[in-house]
Structure 1
Amino acid sequence: MARIKPQALLQQSKKKKGPSRMSVTTIAIYGLIIVAMVFFLFSTYKHWTRRSEFQMKDISGAEKEKSFDAMEKVDVPKYAVIKTSKGSIIVELYKEGSPEVVGEFIESCQKGRFKGMLFNRVIKNFIIQGGDVNRPGNMEDWTLKGKHYNHIDSRMNHEAFMLGTSKAKPDGGGFDLVITTSPIPDLNEKINVFGHVVKGEDVVQEIEEADTDDHYQPKTPIGIIEVTLKQKI
């Protein structure tokens, strides 16, 4: 049997102890695995980020809906008490038949726009009207060119003791108050009715009987002290 030389044994030992080389295929596989892991982590991050955003939007939307529902549940006042220098007139508001007009009336009450308002037009067997004394106007001058409301109940005729406001707002006039003292169906196209007097008809009649000048203005000023809103009377 031939003997192996010491130098040959030493070289074989070095070859066995040296690091093994990785093939190109193995490197490619490892690279794909790393890329897949990075992609998975990135996708997971985006998923949870989007989910958080959706949850925040849902919470925000729920809060808005809750706030809207809360506003819807707020009871609209059913009555208005018009305190005048002649006494109080209690009016039931048509909040279902004339919601837009009632809404503007309530807003005007809350802002105190009726305090100190004078009855600037008093016509017997016709109407009493509170408004801007600087723009009294004439009944014949009322036109249909003013502000119109979309949800007016056409069944509401202008009978006696009906509360309304003129559709026409001359010269940008504000919210006026008109109370009829007789059935006046021909005013249906000129006045938006949004309530009727349930108590204080005698006060309306007393104002109606006031002495007036040629412009239908009371010679002795008659005004509104305040208007308060109530749910019950």
Structure 2
Amino acid sequence: MKTFLSLFMLIASFNLFAAENPTVVMETSKGQIIIELFPDEAPKTVANFLAYVQKDGYKKTTFHRVINGFMIQGGGFSAKTGNKVSTLPPVENESRNGLSNERGTLAMARTANPHSASRQFFINHKDNAFLDAKGGNWGYTVFGEVTLGMDVVDKIAKVKTASQDKPVQPVIINSIKLLDREMK
């Protein structure tokens, strides 16, 4: 009976482990941020983000727009040249997924076109429910949440900025890597 119970516990833990959401580690010049992604709520957005992660597409990009008490936005400009980096085709807006732009959530940046998000993302520095989909209006797709490192987000949010909310001293995203499940 004890062997059966041990085997059952092993199988149960494997099933729970298999159901875990993907998690990424964002290494920045200000510290490390761990983010859990939500593929059940935003499958196309998570797949799009992971496509960049898997090809190391966020390596040496910057947080180019920082507004303390609002959000930090990055992933779209090269730390080396300051130029925009190439993008994959835009992803369909999934903002009507029941997730809200709360403090610590990860969402896609976009233009006025609701289906224009490609690679730039932002981390909400405070609750920003006004960015959620309401009625017939599209919102900004939430697709993840910071699970560790909000102190780093707070540090980034407090950097000195110049015109267009650009940090005076670059805040660099050194890499974003999928967390190996064995490391958890």
Which stretches in structure 1 are left out of the alignment for 5+ residues?
1-73, 136-145
What is the CA distance between 1:154 and its match in structure 2?
2.8
The alignment of Structure 1 onto Structure 2 pairs a total of residues equal to: 149
Aligned partner letter, 2:100: N
1:204 aligns with 2:148: no
State the Cα distance separating 1:111 from its structure 2 match: 1.1
1:85 alignment partner in structure 2: 29
1:217 alignment counterpart:
166
1:226 and 2:170 aligned: no
Deviations 1:138-173 (A, max 9, x none): xxxxxxxx9452655531000001101124389x88
Which residue pairs with 1:23 in the alignment?
none
Equivalent residue number for residue 149 of structure 1: 92
Amino acid at match of 2:107: G
* CA distance in structure 1 between the aligned counterparts of 2:71 and 2:48, rounded to whole angstroms: 21
* Residue 129 of structure 2, aligned match among 182, 185, 195: 185
Report 1 or 2 for greater relative contact order, CA contacts < 8 Å, sequence distance ≥ 6: 2
Superposed displacement of residue 134, structure 1: 4.0
Q: Unpaired runs of 5+ in structure 2?
A: 1-17, 133-137
SS at match of 2:164: coil
Which of these two proteins has the greater Rg computed from alpha carbons?
Answer: 1
Specify whether residues 183 and 119 from structure 1 end up closer, same or farther in structure 2 by C-alpha distance, changes over 3 A only. same
Distance 1:227 1:173 in 2: 18
Q: For 2:25, give the aligned amino acid.
A: V
Instruction: Provide TM-score, normalisation by structure 1.
Output: 0.58
Taking the TM superposition and a 5 Å limit, the aligned residue runs for 1:49-198 are 78-130=22-74, 131-132=76-77, 133-134=82-83, 147=90, 149=92, 152-168=95-111, 174-188=118-132, 189-198=138-147
Q: Is the 8 A contact 1:92 1:198 kept in 2?
A: yes
Query: CA, structure 1 residues 174+116, in 2 after alignment: closer, same or farther (shift >3 Å)?
Result: farther
Q: Which residue is equivalent to 2:12?
A: none
Indicate the RMSD between aligned Cα atoms, in angstroms: 2.6
**Shift in CA distance, 173/117, structure 1 to aligned 2, threshold 3 Å:** farther
Higher helix share: 1
Residues 121 and 209 of structure 1: CA distance in aligned 2, closer, same or farther (over 3 Å): same
Distance 1:181 1:173, change over 3 A: closer
Q: TM-score, with normalisation over the residues of structure 2?
A: 0.72
